[in-house]
Structure 1
Amino acid sequence: MEIRYSNHPQDVKKYDTEELRHHFLIQSLFVPGELKLVYSHNDRFITGSAVPVKEAIKLEADAKDMGAPFFLARRELGIINIGAKGTVKVDGTAYELDNKDCLYVGLGAEEVLFESADAANPAKFYLNSTPAHKQYPTVKAAQKDANPRHLGSIETSNERTIYQYIHEKGIQSCQLVMGLTQLDPGNMWNTMPCHTHERRMEVYLYFDMPENGVVFHMMGQPTETRHIIMRNQEAVISPSWSIHSGVGTAAYTFIWGMAGENQAFDDMDGVPMTEIR
Structure 2
Amino acid sequence: MELRYATNPDQVPAFDTSELRRRYLVENLFTDDEVTAVYTHHDRVVLAGIRPVATTVVLETSPEIRSDYFFEHREAGIVNVGGPGTIAVDGASYRLDHGSCLYIGRGSREVTFASSDVGGALGPARFYLFSAPAHTEYPTTLVSAGEGTVRELGDPKTSNRRTLNQYIHENGVRSCQVVMGVTSLHEGSMWNTMPAHTHDRRTECYLYFDLPEDARVIHLLGTPTETRHLVVANEQATIAPSWSVHSGFGSASYSFVWAMAGENQSFDDMDGFAIGDML
For this structure pair, what is the TM-score category when the shorter chain's length is used for normalisation?
A: over 0.9
Specify the alignment match of 1:34 in structure 2: 34
Distance 1:242 1:271 in 2: 12
DSSP 3-state at the match of 2:55: coil
Distance 1:184 1:270 in 2: 23
Specify the alignment match of 1:100 in structure 2: 99
Distance 1:61 1:108 in 2: 13
1:139-171 Cα shifts (integer Å, max 9, x gaps): 000123111110111100000011000001110
The equivalences for 1:1-277 within 5 A come to: 1-62=1-62, 64-120=63-119, 121-277=123-279
- Please report how far the alpha carbon of residue 13 of structure 1 lies from its aligned counterpart in structure 2 after TM superposition: 1.5
- Please report how far the alpha carbon of residue 83 of structure 1 lies from its aligned counterpart in structure 2 after TM superposition: 0.8
Distance 1:65 1:169 in 2: 32
DSSP 3-state at the match of 2:276: coil
Distance 2:199 2:178 in 1: 15
DSSP 3-state at the match of 1:220: strand
- Please report how far the alpha carbon of residue 54 of structure 1 lies from its aligned counterpart in structure 2 after TM superposition: 2.0
Amino acid at match of 1:59: L
Which consecutive unaligned segments of at least 5 residues does structure 2 have? none
- Please report how far the alpha carbon of residue 101 of structure 1 lies from its aligned counterpart in structure 2 after TM superposition: 0.8
1:179-204 Cα shifts (integer Å, max 9, x gaps): 01100000000112200000001000
1:70-117 Cα shifts (integer Å, max 9, x gaps): 000000011111111111000011011111111000000001000111
Distance 1:193 1:117 in 2: 39
- Please report how far the alpha carbon of residue 237 of structure 1 lies from its aligned counterpart in structure 2 after TM superposition: 0.3
Distance 1:222 1:39 in 2: 26
- Please report how far the alpha carbon of residue 217 of structure 1 lies from its aligned counterpart in structure 2 after TM superposition: 0.1
DSSP 3-state at the match of 2:14: coil
- Please report how far the alpha carbon of residue 34 of structure 1 lies from its aligned counterpart in structure 2 after TM superposition: 1.4
- How much is the aligned-residue C-alpha RMSD, in angstroms? 0.8
8 Å contact from structure 2 (residues 83, 118) kept in 1: no
DSSP 3-state at the match of 2:157: helix
Q: TM-score, normalised by structure 1?
A: 0.98
- Please report how far the alpha carbon of residue 31 of structure 1 lies from its aligned counterpart in structure 2 after TM superposition: 1.5
8 Å contact from structure 1 (residues 53, 118) kept in 2: no
DSSP 3-state at the match of 1:19: helix
- Please report how far the alpha carbon of residue 274 of structure 1 lies from its aligned counterpart in structure 2 after TM superposition: 3.0
- Please report how far the alpha carbon of residue 270 of structure 1 lies from its aligned counterpart in structure 2 after TM superposition: 0.6
Distance 1:186 1:239 in 2: 29
- Please report how far the alpha carbon of residue 30 of structure 1 lies from its aligned counterpart in structure 2 after TM superposition: 1.5
8 Å contact from structure 1 (residues 217, 230) kept in 2: yes
Q: Give the number of aligned pairs.
A: 276
Distance 1:140 1:205 in 2: 19
Amino acid at match of 2:222: G
- Please report how far the alpha carbon of residue 272 of structure 1 lies from its aligned counterpart in structure 2 after TM superposition: 2.2
DSSP 3-state at the match of 2:71: coil
Amino acid at match of 2:88: K
Amino acid at match of 2:188: G
1:34-76 Cα shifts (integer Å, max 9, x gaps): 11100000000000111111211011132x2121110000000
Distance 2:275 2:26 in 1: 29
Q: Which runs of 4+ in 1 moved over 2 A?
A: 118-121
Greater displacement, 244-253 / 141-150: 141-150
8 Å contact from structure 2 (residues 61, 67) kept in 1: no
- Please report how far the alpha carbon of residue 4 of structure 1 lies from its aligned counterpart in structure 2 after TM superposition: 0.7
- Please report how far the alpha carbon of residue 275 of structure 1 lies from its aligned counterpart in structure 2 after TM superposition: 1.6
Q: TM-score, normalised by structure 2?
A: 0.97
8 Å contact from structure 2 (residues 206, 239) kept in 1: yes
Query: What's the % identity of the aligned pairs?
Result: 50
